[in-house]
Structure 1
Amino acid sequence: MKVHLYGNVLNNSYTLCKFLRKRGVNATMFLDNWSNHEQDYPWREDSSLSPTNLPEWIKYYNYKPGKLTFHFPNQEMKKMIKDFADCDVALVNNVGAIIAMRAKVPYFMYSLGTCLDMALIGDKIKKAIINLSHFQRPNALLTTLVLGGLQKRAIKKADRVGILMGYQIDTHARKLGIMHKIELMRLPWDIQKYEKNDDPELKKNYSEVDLVYFMPTRHVWQTLWEHDFCKGNDKFIRAFAKFVKDDKPNVKLICVKKGPDVSVSMKLISDLEIEEYVEWIDEMNKDGIRAYNSLDNIIIVDQFGHDDWKQRWPNNREFGIGFSAIGYEAMSARNVLISTFTDLQFYDNTAPPVFMAFSEDEIYVKLVETLKLSAEERKTVGEKGFEFFHKYHNWESTTDNFIRQLENILKSDD
């Protein structure tokens, strides 16, 4: 079975392609410069790689397609589509559905969120109007207007559609009329890469504090309307301020300079007069993330959403939020995780061993609880998180499920 992959959000195609090949599948990943985010390129995941040093199973087309290029392919895209068509079946994500549709090959499209969101043109236009009424710039409206219709057609033409976030079934799949072709999938994760590997210098830097709260989440919280998803960094920062003022712990909060609201987060920290407890670091590749995850006294902090989410999604019964890559990394590294998580149904209605919190008060309670944990108790919680995550996201069973989907598509085309 010859499989071509395209669409590398958070390096998912890179990881999937590696695992497919490990299972003996003739898989090739196609890569161009479509994404504006460094996190979507293999060299972010593996620092030994670069645009000029890639494995033979990655075909890199060093050009940047514009939005209109997907409607009117230029010579570079035509060449890529022609090459992409030389496969038995395609495995695609994001705008990869458009590439596969143009290549006229059978394809399985899986969504990590934005793939389906882009196709809900009416919802995007409504949000844009609300944005403007709040004096906010419409987020990704141009992309939706230019590509939304094409993306919707490509999704509907997909042989099967993989849903990797359970809450998107009602909010997206049902609206798009694709319920008859969805499959619930889980993303394979390279768990082994997150085994603890001490960085002596980093360890020394934080040896004087009892706990390090590491929040690598991008800072997106100032408005409910401008961005696709609010991370709720402000809620955590305010809860952390109460924590350090009331409980006087010997702790440090590490924030990453990533996201549109970094400056307002810095101002909030200054206004709360907790700067001595907070350290800002530059955005880093996965080697850096793994180094911080290897600290013995680390607590990982992820995302918390917006308190007023119901204003934006009035028809939703509950606030839908699953694990992000940060949560994946924390559990892979056997670390304690503080985050909002509601996607229980997607995990057999099993509550993960995570310090779950949504409101500012709940976050404060979890901060106090994590402070009271002994090193041995943190280790126990981390082991339980690892076992939970390994059960659902180990590369063997998750990759085999993708292979089954691809094989079923080929069987149905016979």
Structure 2
Amino acid sequence: MKRIALVGNMNNNFFAITRYLRDAGYDAHLFYKLAMEHFQPFADSYDTWYEAYCHQVDWFNDGFHNADINEIRTTLNGFDFFIGQGEEAAIAYKAGFNMDVYFPYGSDVYKYAQLPPHYSWASKLKSLVVAKNDRPTYKQMAEGTMAKYLRGTIVNAKYILADATNDDFENELKLLGCKGKYMNVPMPFIYYPTYEKLFDGYIPKSNHVDLINKIRSNNDFMLLYHGRQEWATYHNKFTGKNTHHLIEGFAAYVNDCPTAKACLVMLEYGSDVAQSKQLIQSLGIEKYVHWLPKMYRKELMYIIKHADVCCGEFAHSFLTFGTVIEAMLMKKPVITYRNDSYYLTTYPELYPCYNAKEPDEIKEAIYLAINNKNDRLLKGEQAYKWVMQYFIEKPLKELLRIIEASE
């Protein structure tokens, strides 16, 4: 039995893969640092049996440069295969471990790995003159920045596995000059067996169940967007989601149909929650919009199940990402922007969706979804089958093939 170390857990991605690999008979273990609460293993499971093989590490408690390299070597020695992602994979690379597979998650490629690999001479000189606990020492600076090791673990991985995305992201990945084999293989970042019980009527422990049931009972149509509010604040060219297009499109619909029993449900999550609330107020649609707090996936999936349609994003074309995959696993169709030409050479077919980007297109998508329930339900069923086949079963089969072919 091969022992597999999954090093990193950005957005809880590897928690799912660890469980799939254990289901396949491997002794897989997850090593992850403490991150945002809603991206921890307990946020994505209804039990605690995972604790025996999911290990929270304290490697970065004193900063990247002060990580105990010998401790990391002791922890990771004895594993036969390494799957990496993010900062944990970077420090493992510094400790001498090359990744067999690296799964990019986004900003690791287009932001953090692109930062300077070395500190400036001015920074090094300052470290000699002014000693501070929160500043790396001269010796540590001479070793290079965290970006150097993140880039190193990506560039030297034997395989880079990532779904087909768009030209902008693909170009950023090419700039790194990866030596390993790059393959369009999605990262199956959600463990679907956990949520199959929702189809059988399971109700998770959550403070939001009663509220969502009330919202559902008071409306004939529930539109859900459970991603980040990102449209007014600029971080970089990849983070904007044009959430205001959704709000404006929904407003156009309810203005045309003011007696419609339809609502939009969103999360207080992201940089632009306040701006979105102001926009909703200015459009006069407050009574149609319900806000929920940011929550764990194990709570969120129940809400998704009770929605009629879910939403992706309306700025960049991405085929598979959190909100749309979670929706489709609950058999919900999505309204999202997708440039099909990016993906038709990778996939023989794409999941059905309401393809929309501008507010008027989103308004039309809402009309179509409300006025043709049978088509809406069919889209949800077909999307579920697509996700199971192309996002979970085939990628896992390819990952297992790579593992078995390794020495």
Q: Same fold (TM over 0.5)?
A: yes
TM-score when scaled to structure 2?
0.82
Instruction: Identify the residue that residue 261 of structure 1 maps to in structure 2.
Output: 272
1:74 aligns with 2:67: yes
Whole-Å separation in 1 of the counterparts to 2:18 and 2:330: 22
The residue correspondences of 1:15-414 to structure 2 (distance < 5 A) are: 15-33=16-34, 35=35, 37-49=36-48, 55-62=51-58, 64-65=60-61, 69-70=63-64, 72-75=65-68, 78-107=70-99, 108-117=101-110, 118-121=112-115, 146-167=145-166, 170-178=170-178, 181-188=181-188, 189-195=190-196, 196-198=199-201, 199=203, 201=210, 202-226=212-236, 228-248=238-258, 249-295=260-306, 298-305=308-315, 319-342=316-339, 343-345=342-344, 347-348=346-347, 350-374=349-373, 376-394=374-392, 396-408=393-405, 410-411=406-407
Whole-Å separation in 1 of the counterparts to 2:191 and 2:334: 18
Q: CA distance change for structure 1 residues 54 and 382 in 2, over 3 Å: closer, same or farther?
A: closer
Equivalent pairs counted in the alignment come to: 363
Q: CA distance change for structure 1 residues 149 and 102 in 2, over 3 Å: closer, same or farther?
A: closer
Asked whether the 8 Å contact 1:293–1:330 carries over to 2, the reply is: yes
Asked whether the 8 Å contact 2:90–2:146 carries over to 1, the reply is: no
Asked whether the 8 Å contact 1:209–1:251 carries over to 2, the reply is: yes
Alignment gaps of 5+ in structure 1: 123-144, 306-318
Q: Which moved more, 1:4-13 or 1:345-354?
A: 345-354
Q: CA distance change for structure 1 residues 258 and 278 in 2, over 3 Å: closer, same or farther?
A: same
Whichever residue aligns with residue 320 of structure 2, its letter is F
Whichever residue aligns with residue 234 of structure 1, its letter is H
State the Cα deviation string for residues 6-55 of structure 1 (Å, max 9, x = none): 1112211111111111111111111222x3x2232101112534xxx852
Whole-Å separation in 2 of the counterparts to 1:10 and 1:345: 27
Alignment gaps of 5+ in structure 2: 117-143, 204-208
Whichever residue aligns with residue 263 of structure 1, its letter is A
Q: CA distance change for structure 1 residues 364 and 172 in 2, over 3 Å: closer, same or farther?
A: same
Asked whether the 8 Å contact 1:7–1:13 carries over to 2, the reply is: yes
Equivalent position SS for 2:103: strand
Whole-Å separation in 1 of the counterparts to 2:86 and 2:92: 11
- Tell me: higher relative CO, structure 1 or 2? Use CA pairs within 8 A at least 6 residues apart: 1
Instruction: Give the Å deviation of 1:217.
Output: 0.8
State the Cα deviation string for residues 260-296 of structure 1 (Å, max 9, x = none): 110111111111111010111111112221111221x
Whole-Å separation in 2 of the counterparts to 1:299 and 1:400: 30
Equivalent position SS for 2:51: coil
Asked whether the 8 Å contact 1:4–1:84 carries over to 2, the reply is: yes
TM-score when scaled to structure 1?
0.80
Equivalent position SS for 1:161: strand
Of all paired residues, the percent bearing the same amino acid is 20
Whole-Å separation in 2 of the counterparts to 1:40 and 1:63: 18
